[in-house]
Structure 1
């Protein structure tokens, strides 16, 4: 039996969405850790096939929150263990901070909320297509840490995906978001749609209809490739 994948989420009702569904389909049990709500992070990843830190409405700069500081400390340990590590949006920003990269808002206040192009660099072609439009929901981005490799780029926020070592990946975008999650976020985060650069609901729905079939096919390939980066042997 395959070892579970550790999924670190940040709210009581957070949903790992399509990533969770696809991991289950691939035969991986899921261990959901709501560390922001009091669940402890594991001391070791020996019992896990990999770890994913998901997004959330908080900032990676919220150092007053114990769970943010803990996850920043946890991230290098997870990557250095050799286990596959994936940071999604907030998780990628935590990863960047853990390795010395700053996290900040766009200098012109631009956000990415909706479907935006992401382009693989030469170093990122193993994981990402040459170009795809994929769902985003963020108002902060991250600098490229000195030890990191840029794997994918974008227009408003250049650093869209980074790698640290052979087994650590951080992505600014949200492949996990299903149509139901998208609609829920549009309702709960409606005030965010007033920000510069945010796409309005009709554009979200049109973007999903046009671009998500490709993303839906790509996710399986991406997860399999990510899980194959395990450096622990055996």
Structure 2
């Protein structure tokens, strides 16, 4: 049953930057809430319809950087359309690269961090009134990024980690940016280990240990993630 206003569009658009980084466990939650999902592929599809959508648009992760516009020219249009979208305060959820794109579109600096953050750890959830991430207290989440961002001026910080202070923020109730991965499905984590093998080996990550952590922590996150999504959807204005 939908938790948003009765006239809220029933379609959710999800922008993918990498085939196996999809909505994961969140996709079933959207279906259970009465929504339908439509994917568009950045760099292949025209993103205008998704970014001008009046309902919720989710911008997913990927291995490229916000600042790599010369090598990936499609980013220029994606950023421009996203700036227009955020100016209209349209419902937007960004995950990893999606969060970095939101930060950049809001005028904040996005840049390579001091070190890669890949693996599972808990967040420091900030004592913010109606923090949509409150249910993640003491629940390890998956971090998988090398870039980070400054906090946009108009944003409210929601969470930090030991390595990076800016892990999540919101702007009002309609814009939510998550540097970490909340969407991962427990039964799909092997795709990440295969698809990101070059990055994992370059970063000297113990793949077997990461696989064990995935098996240990992903099921719990899969139970908590829908609560975060439902809270966010309930408070969209």
Alignment partner of 1:218 is 2:233:
no
State the superposition RMSD in angstroms.
2.2
Alignment partner of 1:62 is 2:76:
no
Alignment partner of 1:45 is 2:50:
no
Give the secondary structure class of the aligned counterpart of 1:123.
Answer: coil
Give the secondary structure class of the aligned counterpart of 1:219.
Answer: helix
User: Cα 1:192–1:9, aligned 2, differ >3 Å: closer, same or farther?
Assistant: same
Report deviation, 1:27.
Answer: 1.6
Report deviation, 1:154.
Answer: 0.4
Residue deviations 1:139-184 (CA, integer Å, cap 9, x gap): 1111111111111000112111011222111001112222343212
CA distance in 1, matches of 2:78, 2:172: 18
User: Cα 1:81–1:100, aligned 2, differ >3 Å: closer, same or farther?
Assistant: closer
Alignment partner of 1:112 is 2:117:
yes
Report deviation, 1:226.
Answer: 1.3
Residue deviations 1:68-118 (CA, integer Å, cap 9, x gap): 1222222233334343210000000001111121112223xx211121221
Residue aligning to 1:230: 236
Structure 2 unaligned residues grouped into runs of 5+? 1-5
Match of 2:126 among 110, 121, 134: 121
Alignment partner of 1:27 is 2:45:
no
Worse-superposed segment, 32-41 or 111-120: 32-41
Answer yes or no: is the 8 Å Cα contact 1:124–1:151 preserved in 2: no
Answer yes or no: is the 8 Å Cα contact 2:24–2:183 preserved in 1: yes
TM-score (norm 2): 0.85
Match of 1:92 among 99, 102, 108: 99
Alignment partner of 1:179 is 2:186:
yes
Answer yes or no: is the 8 Å Cα contact 2:120–2:142 preserved in 1: yes
User: Cα 1:40–1:125, aligned 2, differ >3 Å: closer, same or farther?
Assistant: closer
CA distance in 2, matches of 1:14, 1:218: 19
User: Cα 1:8–1:124, aligned 2, differ >3 Å: closer, same or farther?
Assistant: farther
Answer yes or no: is the 8 Å Cα contact 1:55–1:88 preserved in 2: yes
Alignment partner of 1:203 is 2:200:
no
Alignment partner of 1:79 is 2:66:
no
CA distance in 2, matches of 1:14, 1:106: 21
CA distance in 2, matches of 1:214, 1:105: 30
